[in-house]
């Protein structure tokens, strides 16, 4: 909590699947959120230490963890090391994922700007849901960090456009109007290199595991069960509720609710995943 009763949050996102990639069946944003820097710093420190036992590389990917966890049958300690890494997520305030299925969408083959607008709408929807489930409180500033996929000049332009999109008062956009009524301000948007920033790597694991589940990967349930201490409601994603339908953007989004209750008695929602507790400063 900062001065003048303004809350501050640090929100990290990584995507899995692209609107313009024909082979991708879904577009997903997985993420983590912190309500103060100390939690973020503590998570980074513990995540780095646990990561060293899993890999010697500076970057760890969800796909790498999936392969290690499934295939290291002759080295049980490896599985224990991965489970120890995932246990560090308990510091985080919330784990979440929002996704859209592409099978019913009419997508231009090369309209990258339209695809970016769809991504922006997904992010706006995600923030709205975090407000509705009380993960983010009204009267808040949000620092938003996203995995980078473009060169630096394009990232800077996209960051400016996304920040402007989330902060403007679009009278015809219900989600943006909702953010304004809750006095939500996006303080910062920054694209980060996952090779360097550990919070983005943590998001990649969530997005990757959820993608595997949605695409019926044979080991998906076993992978999601690594998060069993976070009380995933895995069944919920089999019957996702369409919570947003934008005919202009031609996008339908899904969010899976959990019946989990936190220590304050508030019902909290995650998409696929959700931690029981409220919790990088990767020198952003």
What is the per-residue pLDDT across 204-227, written as a single tens digit (0 to 9) for each?
Answer: 998 898 888 888 888 887 887 787
pLDDT above 90 covers what percent of the chain?
36
- As beta bridge partners, residue 27 has 100
Helix pair 112-132, 152-167: axis angle to 10 deg: 50
d(CA 196, CA 146): 13
d(CA 82, CA 105): 37
Q: pTM higher than 0.85 for the full model?
A: no
pLDDT at 230 exceeding the cut of 80: no
Return all residues near 100 (Cβ < 8 A) that are at least 6 apart: 26, 27, 118, 122, 251, 252, 253, 254
pLDDT at 66 exceeding the cut of 50: yes
d(CA 2, CA 148): 28
The token pair that represents 39 in the structure block: 């939690």
Position 176 confidence tier, pLDDT thresholds 50, 70, 90: very high
pLDDT at 111 exceeding the cut of 80: no
Per-residue CA distances from 248 to 29, 163, 173, 251, 271 (Å): 21, 21, 11, 8, 24
Look at phi and psi of residue 268 and say left if phi exceeds 0, alpha if psi is from -120 to 50, else beta.
beta
Strand-by-strand arrangement of the 94-101 sheet: 184-192, 140-147, 7-16, 26-34, 94-101, 251-255, 241-246
Position 141 confidence tier, pLDDT thresholds 50, 70, 90: very high
Question: Do the beta carbons of residue 106 and residue 252 sit within 8 Å?
Answer: no
Question: Do the beta carbons of residue 143 and residue 40 sit within 8 Å?
Answer: no
Return all residues near 98 (Cβ < 8 A) that are at least 6 apart: 28, 29, 122, 125, 126, 129, 253, 254, 255, 271
- As beta bridge partners, residue 197 has none
Q: For each of the domains in the chain, give its residue range(s) and CATH number, in order of start.
A: 3-255 (3.30.420.10)
The token pair that represents 109 in the structure block: 């083959």
Residue found under tokens 């994603």:
237
Q: Give tens-digit pLDDT for 256-271.
A: 543 333 333 333 233 3
* Average pLDDT estimate for 65-69: 88
């Amino acid at each position: 909590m900062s001065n003048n009763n303004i809350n501050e949050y640090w929100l990290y996102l990584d995507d899995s699947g692209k609107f313009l990639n024909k082979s991708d069946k879904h577009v997903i944003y997985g993420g983590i959120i912190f309500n103060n820097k100390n939690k973020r710093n503590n998570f980074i420190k513990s995540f780095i230490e646990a990561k060293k036992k899993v890999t010697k590389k500076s970057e760890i990917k969800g796909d790498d963890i999936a392969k290690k966890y499934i295939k290291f049958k002759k080295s049980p300690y490896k599985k224990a090391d991965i489970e120890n890494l995932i246990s560090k997520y308990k510091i985080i305030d919330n784990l979440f994922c929002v996704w859209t299925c592409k099978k019913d969408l009419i997508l231009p083959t090369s309209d990258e700007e339209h695809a970016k607008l769809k991504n922006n709408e997904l992010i706006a929807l995600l923030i709205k849901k975090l407000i509705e489930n009380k993960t983010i409180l009204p009267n808040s500033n949000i620092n938003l960090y996203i995995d980078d996929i473009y060169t630096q000049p394009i990232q800077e332009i996209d960051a400016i456009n996304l920040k402007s999109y989330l902060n403007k008062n679009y009278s015809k956009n219900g989600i943006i109007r909702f953010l304004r009524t809750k006095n939500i301000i996006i303080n910062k948007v920054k694209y980060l290199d996952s090779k360097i920033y550990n919070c983005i790597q943590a998001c990649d694991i969530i997005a990757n595991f959820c993608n595997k589940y949605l695409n019926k990967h044979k080991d998906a349930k076993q992978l999601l069960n690594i998060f069993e201490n976070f009380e995933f409601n895995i069944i919920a994603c089999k019957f996702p509720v369409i919570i947003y339908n934008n005919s202009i953007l031609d996008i339908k989004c899904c969010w899976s609710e959990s019946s989990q209750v936190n220590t304050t008695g508030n019902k909290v929602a995650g998409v696929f995943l959700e931690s029981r507790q409220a919790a990088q400063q990767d020198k952003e």
